[in-house]
Amino acid sequence: MAFSTNDLKNGMTLDLSEGLFSVVEFQHVKPGKGGAFVRTKLKNVRTGAVIDRTWRADEKIDQAIIEKREMQRLYREGSQSVFMDATSFEQLQVEDDLLGGASRFLKDGDTAVMSMYRDEIVGVELPASVELAVAETEPGLQGDRVSGARKPATLETGLVVQVPLFVNPGDRVRVDTRSAEYLTRV
């Protein structure tokens, strides 16, 4: 869908020849001499690379309509995860590469919001934190309560995080999905 550069807003997604880009920042500039133009900072939706782009005012560009769909992960099959759309119940097989780091936080039954452009996943939104069980870690020793000391723990999804010494195998912990850091024992 084509629209004017005068109508740009932060968060819009553009379909450019180089790929899909989200508008991070834009500025309308009207110099004293010459025509007005729009200066933008764009972020590649797939790679995260940021570029600067300038257009003449009222130039036509294509907007990409990104659809957000709530999907539940049903199960894992090899290097793919099978998701089900929460409204249409349609199932979708997704390669873990397309999920980025999100697959480290998702277990069977978890829900994520998929950003879709046509039939392609271009982004995954997770909750701010998730609860995961500790699959293996060294057992905590009685009386070993050094303030701030940490040890590695492998969680049920395969994610390795640093946890306090008192966390044992089988415990459930809350992990921040943005930084992949331990928050608390549940």
Q: Are 120 and 134 part of one and the same domain?
A: no
Q: What is the DSSP letter of 32?
A: S
165, 146 in Cβ contact below 8 A? yes
Among 10, 31, 62, give the residue marking a domain's end. Answer: 62
3-state helix, strand, coil in the chain (%, to 5): 5, 55, 40
Which among 100, 117, 101, 99 has a CA at the least distance from the CA of 1?
A: 117
Number of domains in the chain: 3
Calculate the average pLDDT of the chain.
88
> What is the tens place of the pLDDT at every residue in 46-62?
888 999 999 998 889 99
Q: Per-residue pLDDT averaged across 139-153, rounded?
A: 73
**pLDDT tens digit string along 63-78?**
999 899 999 999 988 8
CATH number at residue 85: 2.40.50.140
Find the radius of gyration of the CA atoms of the chain. 22
More confident residue, 101 or 87: 87
| Residue 139: other Cβ atoms inside 10 A | 11
H-helix or E-strand spanning residue 67: strand 67-77
The domain of 79 spans 67-125
Under the banding of pLDDT at 50, 70 and 90, the label for residue 42 is very high
Report the pLDDT value the prediction gives residue 75, as an integer from 0 to 100. Answer: 92
For the chain, the straight-line distance linking the first and the last C-alpha, in angstroms and rounded, comes to 47
Picking from 107, 125, 143, the residue at the C-terminal end of a domain is 125
Q: What is the pLDDT of residues 92-139, one digit of tens each?
A: 998 888 887 888 899 899 999 998 888 888 888 899 999 999 999 987
pLDDT at position 123: 85
Distance (Å) of CA 17 to CA 14, 26, 180: 10, 19, 34
Mean pLDDT value across residues 135-146 = 73
Based on the fold, state whether residues 135 and 177 are members of the same structural domain: yes
